[in-house]
Amino acid sequence: METSERTNTACGPETPRRRVGTFTLGVTLVAAGGLMLVSLLAPQLDLRWALKLSPVILILLGVETLLAARGGGKIKYDWVGMLLCFVLVCAALCMYGLAWWFLYGPEYGFCL
């Protein structure tokens, strides 16, 4: 028997680990795709309200992190997970800035 077989037998089957941020990324992709589809099918709709919902990305990411840490399950904080979280946070901040610019930009003289 090889050493890798012995360790797997002694410790039992290894449970798969999930990266924090994958659920939030999935929800964000589905929502963005749905909004793009709606904008193509109904171009007369004003979808600027969707930008106002950008902080929901950060809320989902925080809830996912808290639930993963509370559940006692194995979570994976590696460079890919951190990069994924960084991309989500940057996307949410950019969308927030765009929403602020649409709402308050003309008031402060920031217009096209």
Between CA 64 and CA 53 the distance in angstroms is 17
According to the model, what pLDDT value does residue 89 have? Answer: 85
**24, 64 Cβ separation under 8 angstroms:** yes
Give strand pairing partners of 18.
75
Query: Using one digit for the tens of pLDDT, what is the confidence trace for 20-66?
Result: 777 888 888 888 888 888 878 887 888 778 888 888 888 888 888 88
Q: In the chain, pLDDT over 70 holds for what percent of residues?
A: 74
Residue at token pair 């996912």: 64
The better pLDDT of the pair 40, 1 is held by 40
pTM score of the predicted model? 0.62
